Structure 1
Amino acid sequence: MTKQPTGALLFVLSCAMGVGPLLNYGLSATSPLIITDLGISESQFGLLATAIFASAAVCSMWLGRLSDRISNRAQLILIFAGTAVALVIASLAHHYFVLLVAALLAGPAQAISNPTTNRIIIHHVAATKRPGWIGVKQSGVQGSQLFAGLFFPPVALWLGWQGATALAAVVAVGLLLYGLRHLPEEKPITTAAPGRAAAPPAAVEAKGYPLAVWLFAGYALLTGLGMQATNVYLPLFTVRELDFSLLLGGLAAGVSGVVGVTSRILWGREMAKGRRASTLLILLGLGALLGAAALLGAGELGSPLLLWLGVALHGATVLGTNVVVMAGVMKVVPAARVGSASGVVSMGMYAGFAAGPLLMGLLLEGSGTFRPGWILVGAGYLLCVLLALVLRRHGNRHGVPK
């Protein structure tokens, strides 16, 4: 009798998703202190997030293929230990260049997190339960955002931002030890839902990937751009435009994370009910567009109410897109290629993650206002809606529920 996966494994998968972004969320939550302490510009600060995600984007496809070949244990060590090393180096950074090196080292740990966790789920979780598991494990990213928003600002005011980063490294090591104790055996199972094919015909091509994978990657790129442009600069935006304190700015990021945790679980449940990915992605894109408009309005009108509305919409929509995208990937590729296909989508996502903070920082420094940045973010979300419509039309044409 096959041993069923436990709640402990789901917690490990959620932590594996959340630990990688801990450095960039921590830097974002303490951005006013870092900018002042190191004497850097807003665009230089944005370059840190760009470095993290550019590093992740470059590694994503290779690490995705690697995840289909190496053990779960080795992948977990790469994720948690790699993050801990980056955090330790950041804690020793008294010069911008050292912090930039830490950012580059944080990328690979994030790049392999989706392929690793998707691979474990598809081999050890029954098909009917996979979307729900994806929703919960993806919420680990927003759990990390919440943790960073609540942990880094007060600890930074106590021990400095370097001290907060060092303590975060200790947390990463503790999570690694816990995770290694609760990994499933390296004997994957391939349970499928009764009466349901393991994958659509287009997924079993000997070479290349279905068009849907590339559409998912494009959607991930555009939402990734807006997601990290917002995540990285939200605390600074609240402090500068709305006169929030450092703690309240961190709380804004934390609230977004709380909403994001809930939204990822709920969107995962919608996928589990058999909702079409394209339908959900259209709704998510429209909601994200409204959120960007609210943040733009908050800056223009100095309105805290619009700020909190934008934060809530950001968490409810943008932060939930990865669940739908990753669950969609599992429907269009066979289990043996989930890792590599996830790597393709992750490459798009991290390319967007890299571009978002860089562009937002350059626009902020060039204009002295967040207005052009929010317009850029909104334009990206509008393109997401168009991509989702193409995905829906492609699914209709080929008879595949995309």
Structure 2
Amino acid sequence: MERRTPASELRDRMERFRLRMDTDNPSWEFAAIFGRVNQFYFTGTMQDGALLIPRTGEAVLWVRRSFERALDESLFPEIRPMKSFRDAACGMGACPAAVHVDTEVVPLALLDRFRKYFPFRETKALDAETAGVRARKSAYELAIMEQAGRIHRHVLEDCVPGMLREGMSEADLGAEVFSHMVRDGYHGIARFGRFGTEMVLGQLGFGENSLYPTSFDGPGGCLGAAPGAPVLGSHDGRLKAGDLVFVDCACGVQGYHTDKTVTYMFGRSLPDEAIEAHRRCVDIQDATAALLRPGITPSEIYETILDSLNPTFLENFMGFGDRRAQFLGHGIGLTVDEAPVIARGFDEPLEEGMVFALEPKKGIRGVGMVGIENTFVVTRGGGRCITGTNTGLVPVY
């Protein structure tokens, strides 16, 4: 598999970023990108350094460590070594009064060290511009995501039913899912852009553990291994007949992710109420996917779907109790939680090639979180699923 992002991809991304900056910030003069994910997107490598982009002049990736690796991995046209930001300042010339940075990810301490040699007075954000550029995937990116989707589909639909056995812990299941995905090509990390979000794989749980409250902004729950590491799954809870098994995880290849949720009925069927709620969630996923066409806005999709639902169904929809996620799906790519989001307030029209994870889910007291999630590409004919068509509540008995 080719490890290096094609030079044509990198040129197109930088050109689109500059155009977006010109449109959104007509007076911009200088951008500094510190976040590793954004650096990878624009240069094809993730090193300790800074990508500096003057409005006029060539963008330069300044690398502290490892310069050798950056040269090996990247086809970016201008990569230079530095021992400190002093070297970058000498190489870039005069600094303007205002600098645009990726404020969502850069630590204040790092920004202060940068300002020592780049004495700008005003910090402005470029997060919306990088998110907007990253939202539309190229054919190159989609091919990688489709590979992740094939691994995802195979492991969750074909392999997990054979992993489930009475007495196993959630952590046991998480370890087996993770191991199998890695062997199939998973890159081994579920990467999020939201501050402080850490996940080994995703969220999984047996029974009502899938309703357990978390700090994560999503409909599902997860007890996790411990309060200091609320990830993967509990070592204590054991799978028993009659349990709902909830597996919501990411899968990634070469930095790009897909997102998928499959549920399983272990040992015996679930109550009719849970089965009916699950089927309704699958219908909602399909109806939402059909609207993923260029020109429509995410907020329109959200309002259309929500308005079609019976008010009684909305109780515990997209969460449980007062913990309700205010979206139906989210953009996905180099991070699991990308823009735009299928929610109110996202009013820019969809473009062909955008990718969304749709996840209508509903909490059922005494049972757990039912529902579904799959990853879809925006096309003129509606959303094209790249993670499989299994409708979930897979019987394992």
TM-score > 0.5 by shorter chain: no
Larger radius of gyration: 2
Higher relative contact order (CA 8 A, sep 6+): 1
Q: Give the strand-richer structure, 1 or 2.
A: 2
Q: Give the helix-richer structure, 1 or 2.
A: 1
TM-score by length of 1: 0.31
